[in-house]
């Protein structure tokens, strides 16, 4: 069984060496451990440090594409390298490498498809009280949207089985953490939280400039992905809201009319009718979006089958090349 630890990097020359060196190379139940560094267009010595630190594989983006794209590049390359389990960690060394064996154990045992490292942010002294509260609320919101029980929804320290990696298709540009969980919940993948803790990092996040920006981008991502997978539920509730609001002024007019005071309140009928029509159109839009969603699911199934076919072809080519080399000897 092969484990590949992928490290998305952007200007991580100061911490990458330690991150790689702390990754255990011998793990019970794993035949080989390899390190894959994905350099997302770094302008510093990240690439050189990765080579010197002993990374087994390195991929470079010609320009910075963002964390979500870099994560996806790592997944696809890890699958091409025949990984059975893929661990994602950060290049800033905030996640403890010695916890990787515990992180992947549920996948080895077959009780989970994806595991997510729980930093236990409520215990981290280097996290402000506000940040701990926001993390707790954010994880609660993601649990409600995804239907999966995960203690630390935005933790980047996570492991995936080969089948889970094949089934995940990240389309967000901001980050992969929330979208992966919503997708995994929709696709009925088994997810477990594993307590791993976290280390203090000296630099600020390069993913966002401020906490409000992070909250806004994370919220937009969560709503967009949830709507993509469950459009009928979202649009139906929104449409029903408009319809119920529209009933209020119409009801007001009818009440006044039955009591002999209907004159001069025709605007209530107009406003209520407009709101009800808007609500009906929103519901119709939800039905159409749901039909489009079925088409998207079919395309996803085709994509997954193509990935499996491609991986099978790569394996056969390598097997035949190895046989030819043995025959030549």
- Residue pLDDT, tens place only, 271-286: 999 999 999 999 999 9
What is the arithmetic mean of pLDDT over 259-267?
Answer: 76
Query: What band does 287 get if pLDDT is binned at 50, 70 and 90?
Result: very high
Q: Of 209, 224, 239, which closes a domain? A: 224
CATH number of 218's domain? 3.90.550.10
Higher-pLDDT residue of 41, 302:
41
Say if residue 142 is in the same domain as residue 259: no
The mean pLDDT value of the chain amounts to: 85
- Residue pLDDT, tens place only, 303-313: 888 888 887 77
What is the arithmetic mean of pLDDT over 215-228?
Answer: 80
Query: What band does 194 get if pLDDT is binned at 50, 70 and 90?
Result: very high
Q: What pLDDT is attached to residue 179?
A: 87
Q: What pLDDT is attached to residue 74?
A: 94
Say if residue 175 is in the same domain as residue 265: no
Q: What pLDDT is attached to residue 144?
A: 76
Say if residue 218 is in the same domain as residue 130: yes
Per-residue 3-state assignment (H helix, E strand, C coil) for the chain: CEEEEEEEECCCCCCHHHHHHCCCCCCCCCCEEEEEEEEECCCCCHHHHHHHHCCCEEEEECCCCCHHHHHHHHHHHHHHCCCCEEEECCCCCCCCHHHHHHHHHHHHHCCCCEEEEECCHHHCCCCCHHHHHHHHHHHHHHHHHHCCCCCCCCCCCEEEEHHHHHHCCCCCCCCCHHHHHHHHHHCCCCEEEEECCCCCCCCCCCCCCCHHHHHHHHHHHHHHHHHHHCHHHHHHHHHHHHHHHHHHHHHHHHHHHHCCCCCCCHHHHHHHHHHHHHHHHHHHHHHHHHHHHHHHHHHHHHHHHHHHHHHHHHHHHHHHHHHHHHHHC
Say if residue 153 is in the same domain as residue 302: no
Say if residue 217 is in the same domain as residue 250: no
Say if residue 60 is in the same domain as residue 167: yes
- Residue pLDDT, tens place only, 163-174: 999 999 888 877
Q: Of 160, 192, 224, which closes a domain? A: 224
Say if residue 193 is in the same domain as residue 283: no
Q: What pLDDT is attached to residue 313?
A: 74
Say if residue 94 is in the same domain as residue 214: yes
Q: Which domain holds residue 116?
A: 2-224
Mean pLDDT lowest among 13-22, 123-132, 250-259: 123-132
Say if residue 179 is in the same domain as residue 140: yes
Count of domains observed in the chain: 2
- Residue pLDDT, tens place only, 85-133: 999 999 988 899 999 999 999 999 999 999 999 987 776 665 666 666 7
Q: Of 201, 224, 247, which closes a domain? A: 224
Say if residue 172 is in the same domain as residue 268: no
Say if residue 159 is in the same domain as residue 76: yes
Say if residue 79 is in the same domain as residue 18: yes
């Amino acid at each position: 069984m092969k484990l590949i630890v992928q490290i998305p990097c952007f200007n991580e020359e100061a911490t990458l060496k330690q991150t790689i060196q702390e990754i255990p190379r011998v793990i019970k139940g794993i035949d080989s451990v390899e390190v894959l560094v994905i350099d997302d267009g770094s302008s510093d010595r990240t690439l050189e440090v990765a080579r010197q630190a002993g990374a087994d594989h390195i991929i470079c983006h010609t320009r910075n594409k963002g964390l979500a794209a870099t994560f996806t590049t790592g997944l696809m390359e890890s699958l091409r390298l025949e990984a059975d389990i893929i661990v994602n960690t950060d290049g800033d060394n905030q996640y403890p490498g010695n916890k990787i064996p515990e992180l992947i154990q549920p996948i080895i045992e077959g009780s989970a498809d994806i595991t997510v490292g729980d930093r236990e942010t409520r215990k981290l002294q280097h996290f402000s009280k506000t940040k701990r509260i926001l993390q707790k609320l954010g994880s609660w919101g993601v649990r409600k949207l995804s239907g999966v029980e995960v203690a630390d929804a935005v933790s980047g320290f996570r492991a995936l089985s080969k089948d889970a990696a094949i089934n995940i298709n990240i389309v967000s540009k901001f980050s992969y953490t929330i979208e992966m969980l919503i997708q995994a919940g929709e696709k009925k993948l088994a997810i477990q939280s594993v307590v791993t803790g976290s280390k203090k990092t000296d630099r600020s996040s390069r993913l966002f400039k401020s906490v409000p920006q992070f909250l806004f981008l994370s919220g937009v991502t969560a709503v967009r992905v949830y709507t993509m997978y469950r459009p009928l539920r979202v649009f139906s509730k929104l449409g029903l809201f408009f319809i119920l609001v529209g009933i209020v002024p119409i009801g007001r007019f009818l009440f006044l009319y039955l009591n002999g005071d209907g004159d001069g309140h025709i605007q209530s009928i107009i406003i209520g009718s407009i709101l009800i029509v808007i609500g009906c159109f929103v519901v119709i839009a939800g039905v159409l979006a749901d039909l489009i969603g079925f088409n998207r699911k079919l395309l996803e199934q085709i994509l997954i089958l193509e990935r499996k076919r491609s991986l099978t072809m790569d394996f056969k080519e390598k097997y035949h090349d190895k046989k030819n080399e043995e025959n030549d000897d």
